[in-house]
Amino acid sequence: MSKLIAKEEISRYKAIPAIAKRVGKWHKELTYAMRLGNEFKGKSHITFETTEGPVEVETTVWSAGEEYLQLKGGTTIPIASIVDIHF
């Protein structure tokens, strides 16, 4: 079970790699999340692994690079730490 946090709280947590390596799996979902955020101003739910356990944030995704996901406001999440994405 993940803990829901505000986007502004992400910097309080230390992201760690998820147990299951699914970086390649997220490409399609990240592309959709970026389109949802940039074209439709929609939000995505992103669960990622931290030293305190999984946390979830509902936010707008602005871009996804090779290693990091950039959220509205410049906050980043390592893609390797993502456990789940849903819309």
What is the spatial distance between Cα 9 and Cα 84, in angstroms, rounded to a whole number?
18
Q: Report pLDDT for 23.
A: 67
How far is 20 from 78, CA to CA, in rounded Å?
A: 14
32 Cβ contact list (under 8 Å, min separation 6): 87
Amino acid 47: pLDDT: 96
Per-residue pLDDT reduced to its tens digit, 42-77: 999 999 999 999 999 999 999 999 899 999 888 999
pTM of the model: 0.90
Asked whether the predicted pLDDT for residue 22 surpasses 80, the reply is no
Q: Going from the N-terminus, what domains does the chain have, and what CATH number goes with each? A: 3-86 (2.30.30)
